[in-house]
A = this chain, B = another copy of it.
């Protein structure tokens, strides 16, 4: 019996291959037409345009509230109009603090006053626009004036505080200094405050993006000793967007919270500094030598602290509402005007913002312009295209979040998908998103040629992946040229679409060969970008080709290119991961508790130093995954049936196709749960979320995973139930799709 089934399976797969559509969701004839338009699209794309636009858009600092931020929005809007788009500038008024006072000094016998300033370089023409620049600061830091001893907390994540506790170093009432990296920056002051610290300094260690990585600017692209990473420290894992208007658009007359009630504003003062400014502070630290893994690349012995001398940190901010200018440009669909394919990239920067975000924006603009040219030649998109240039992404995804919250019900009805980009540079395709879109995306990448090597971008990515994989681990990936979508956490404008509204999303960009240390500094400039990140905008063009194809195919497919099986397999892997995680935690906790009880930590430690044994932890219970497993098993059956039927979907009558499409693009909505994730109801997606303690870093099946990781068993149990419910609803959608296809 077994053998026969096996042979049948082979036959089936042959059958599938023979009947494969040229393009997912297209009939053969329309596929041919589509591919022909795509060729013409490619021909339109001009690197020179990107260069021109980037020069203008980065010519002055263009942060929220700056004159050039508004000028850019108007410039972008004018171009979209010129290309035939129905264009508007949509304005919101979120809270956006800017610095009034910034003082950081080391007191005592060898006092040091931090410079908090990035100097002008003659090699970087815009770096000297001091009057227009936002100073170096962390947005949504608290006001504060504190003087205390300093403690070094490594990356400032919860595990680092466990280590400090073992070393006998207390941060209560202290100011902490943390390295950038290892988590999103906003996690650092949040965790510091949870542990009783009264101030937080974050610095860029040269290990991470300075001289240890490569030559510093302007010789190379890496961070100089005086370079500073600005950035937001709002508690975005709770909710992004305007802190005063959670869940609703920050329109002029929106009902606002009082500032004191906004839970996402950081509780303690936070300031980012350069490693030049960090060095005297780190040198002042006494106490134990920091663990090996905490060391950076400064030429000192890193100590945990506390410091021998006190540190004074004084910050105050203007807490103003500032206008946001989102550019929204629409090209109505000829056949399904109420199905929207949305494409977005933000336009605001921390300073001149060339790589972040203009490199992605100009690729999106060129894509839109090329489509405008196609329209002149008779091309019509079946679905509506909505091209967006967001403002205020840097402070807190402000522009996208407020717009999404403001248009929530319309978007829930109409949004087919959201395609995001942000920074872009030379290198390899980097893609994350909804896994039902993965096979579709892999059709796209096979048609985009890498500008440096002349092979398809997935071929080049495969080449790098396998050659950089340790030899011992290559056998299991050899020949696999599929681009696996990463799961989306946060850090760019897809978050409100995907995680608040359940709109299938993709986030696309190239990178890996344009590394530098310009991130959020005055040196993220046209001059740096055009020397180091994507000279000639060849990868700008490649991004236009990639995101353009995704957008156009989604806009024109008869049947939306959704693969439920790809989603199922990915989620089943996540569930298996978490079960393994819990099992490993169980056996490891058991051993660890035994070692602690046998006093082995006390025997092992250096007896001349304080190094406490870890705390005994509660035993890990067995969690009931059975309902989730049963649901996944049902889903497996459904998705496999769906995929078998899907290949003939383009032969359905048009009305049925439209009914089917509505199910297909709304299926991701069923992954939302109205009560949201534990401790953060704004995040409703049950499969993808930024981590509560990682910030940008994704947590998949987040309620369950974080429940297990944080040993919050009740939360884990409830989240298993919630996730199971949403997957059951998802399965209903799949079955509804099957019913239509039969």
Contacts and interface: CB of A to CB of B under 8 A. Distances in A.
A471 B590 CA distance: 10
Interface stretch (A139-147, A227-235, A292-300, A317-325): A292-300
Nearest to A219: B301
Interface stretch (A99-107, A185-193, A210-218): A210-218
A592 B471 contact: yes
A468 B604 CA distance: 9
Interface in A578-616: 584, 587-588, 591-592, 594-595, 600-604, 606-608
A591 B479 CA distance: 11
B471 A513 contact: no
A464 interface: yes
A455 interface: yes
Contacts of A474: 588, 591-592, 595
A459 B603 CA distance: 8
A274 to B, nearest CB: 14
A301 B211 contact: yes
A466 interface: yes
A115 to B, nearest CB: 18
A467 interface: yes
A600 B462 CA distance: 8
Given A295-B212, A301-B214, A591-B478, A600 B452 contact: no
Closest 3 interchain pairs by CB? Answer: A463-B603, A463-B600, A464-B604
Given A297-B299, A453-B607, A595 B466 contact: yes
Contacts of A584: 471-472
Given A452-B607, A463-B600, A463-B601, 5 more contacts: A214-B289, A464-B603, A466-B595, A474-B591, A513-B606
Contact of A467 (B289, B299, B301, B601): B601
Contacts of A301: 211-216, 220, 222
A40 to B, nearest CB: 28
B591 A475 contact: yes
A608 B464 CA distance: 15
Contacts of A606: 513
A591 B480 CA distance: 14
A206 interface: yes
A460 interface: yes
A570 B595 CA distance: 28
A604 B460 contact: yes
Contact of A453 (B215, B588, B595, B603): B603
Contacts of A297: 295, 297, 299
Nearest to A585: B471
Contact of A299 (B298, B475, B588): B298
A435 B206 CA distance: 47
A584 B474 CA distance: 11
A226 to B, nearest CB: 14
A604 B587 CA distance: 41
Contacts of A212: 295, 301
Contacts of A595: 466-467, 474
Contacts of A463: 600-601, 603-604
A596 to B, nearest CB: 9
Contacts of A466: 595, 600
A289 B299 CA distance: 19
Nearest to A464: B604
Contact of A588 (B471, B513, B604): B471
Contacts of A216: 301
A214 to B, nearest CB: 5
Contacts of A295: 212, 297
A52 to B, nearest CB: 24
A475 B602 CA distance: 20
A300 B604 contact: no
20 contacts: A211-B301, A212-B301, A213-B301, A220-B289, A297-B297, A299-B299, A453-B603, A455-B603, A460-B604, A463-B603, A464-B603, A464-B604, A466-B595, A466-B600, A467-B601, A468-B604, A471-B591, A474-B592, A478-B594, A513-B608
Interface string A299-326: 1110000000000000000000000000
A57 to B, nearest CB: 26
Interface in A459-511: 459-460, 462-464, 466-468, 471-472, 474-475, 478
Interface in A183-214: 206, 211-214
Contacts of A455: 603
Contacts of A478: 591, 594
A477 to B, nearest CB: 10
A350 to B, nearest CB: 25
Contacts of A298: 299
A458 B602 CA distance: 15
A297 B297 CA distance: 6
A54 B607 CA distance: 24
A462 B595 CA distance: 11
A216 B472 CA distance: 39
Contacts of A222: 301
Nearest to A594: B478
A473 to B, nearest CB: 10
A467 B214 contact: no
Contacts of A471: 584, 588, 591-592
Contacts of A289: 214-215, 220
Nearest to A514: B606
Interface string A403-425: 00000000000000000000000
Interface in A600-636: 600-604, 606-608
Contacts of A211: 299-301
Contact of A603 (B215, B299, B460, B594): B460
Interface string A563-588: 00000000000000000000010011
A604 B467 contact: yes
A600 B214 contact: no
Interface in A99-156: none
Nearest to A588: B471
A206 B299 contact: yes
A286 to B, nearest CB: 10
Interface centre among A460, A468, A474 (most CB of B within 10 A): A474
Nearest to A467: B604
B475 A587 contact: yes
Contacts of A299: 206, 211, 297-299
Contacts of A594: 478
A604 B584 CA distance: 36
Contacts of A220: 289, 301
A364 B472 CA distance: 46
A530 to B, nearest CB: 14
A432 to B, nearest CB: 21
Nearest to A590: B475
Nearest to A589: B471
